[in-house]
Amino acid sequence: MFFKDVIGQADVKARLWQMLREERVPHALLFAGPEGSGKLAMALAFASRLLCKSPGVEESCGHCQACHQSARLIHPDLHFVFPVIRPAGKSGAAVSDMFLPQWREQMATTPYFSRQTWLARMGVENQQSFIGVAEANSLITKLFTVSSQGGYRVVIVWLAEQMNEETANKLLKILEEPPAGTVFILTTNHPEKMLATILSRTQRIDFKPIPSEEMAEALMQRHGLQADDALAVARSAAGSYVKALEEVTNAADAACFFDQFVLLMRLCYMRKVKDLFEWSVQLSQWGRERQKAFLEYAQRMVRENFIYNFGRRELNFQNKKEADFSVRFARFINERNVMGIAAEISSAQRDIEQNVNPRMVFFDFALKMIMLLIR
Minimum distance from CB of 23 to Zn ion (Å)?
A: 18
Task: Pick the binder of Zn ion from 64, 71, 120, 195 (CB under 5 A).
Answer: 64
User: Looking at beta carbons only, is 55 or 358 nearer to Zn ion?
Assistant: 55
Helices (H), the chain: 10-21, 39-51, 65-71, 100-109, 115-121, 133-145, 165-176, 196-201, 212-223, 227-237, 241-269, 273-284, 288-308, 320-329, 338-353, 358-373
Minimum distance from CB of 6 to Zn ion (Å)?
A: 17
Reference 356, options 300, 260, 288; nearest CA is 288
Minimum distance from CB of 178 to Zn ion (Å)?
A: 24
Task: Pick the binder of Zn ion from 61, 120, 263, 342 (CB under 5 A).
Answer: 61
Cα 366 to Cα 370: distance, rounded to the nearest angstrom: 7
Stretch near Zn ion under the rule CB under 5 A, chosen from 53-61, 294-302, 337-345, 358-366: 53-61
Residue-wise over 221-243: b if at least 16 C-beta within 10 A, else e? Answer: eebebeeebbbbbbeebebbbbb
Contact status, residue 186 vs residue 158, Cβ threshold 8 Å = no
DSSP 283-334: HHTS-HHHHHHHHHHHHHHHHHHHHHTTT-GGG----HHHHHHHHHHGGGS-
Minimum distance from CB of 66 to Zn ion (Å)?
A: 5
The site for Zn ion, by CB under 5 A, has a size of 5
Name the strands in the sheet holding 78-81, side by side, starting at the edge strand that comes first in the sequence. 78-81, 153-157, 182-188, 28-32, 203-206
Stretch near Zn ion under the rule CB under 5 A, chosen from 20-28, 45-53, 206-214, 301-309: 45-53
Minimum distance from CB of 67 to Zn ion (Å)?
A: 3
* Site membership for Zn ion, residue 67 (CB under 5 A): yes
User: Looking at beta carbons only, is 61 or 251 nearer to Zn ion?
Assistant: 61
Contacts of Zn ion in 159-188 (CB under 5 A): none
Strands 28-32 and 203-206: parallel
* Site membership for Zn ion, residue 50 (CB under 5 A): no
User: Looking at beta carbons only, is 61 or 367 nearer to Zn ion?
Assistant: 61
Contact status, residue 33 vs residue 48, Cβ threshold 8 Å = no
Contacts of Zn ion in 247-306 (CB under 5 A): none
User: Looking at beta carbons only, is 64 or 199 nearer to Zn ion?
Assistant: 64
Minimum distance from CB of 16 to Zn ion (Å)?
A: 17
- Residue 219 exposed, middle or buried by CB count within 10 Å (0-12, 13-18, 19+): buried
Minimum distance from CB of 64 to Zn ion (Å)?
A: 3
User: Looking at beta carbons only, is 60 or 280 nearer to Zn ion?
Assistant: 60
Contacts of Zn ion in 306-325 (CB under 5 A): none
Minimum distance from CB of 149 to Zn ion (Å)?
A: 13
Stretch near Zn ion under the rule CB under 5 A, chosen from 50-58, 196-204, 286-294, 360-368: 50-58
Reference 202, options 151, 228, 168, 231; nearest CA is 168
User: Looking at beta carbons only, is 64 or 134 nearer to Zn ion?
Assistant: 64
Could you list the residues that contact Zn ion (CB under 5 A)?
Answer: 52, 60-61, 64, 67
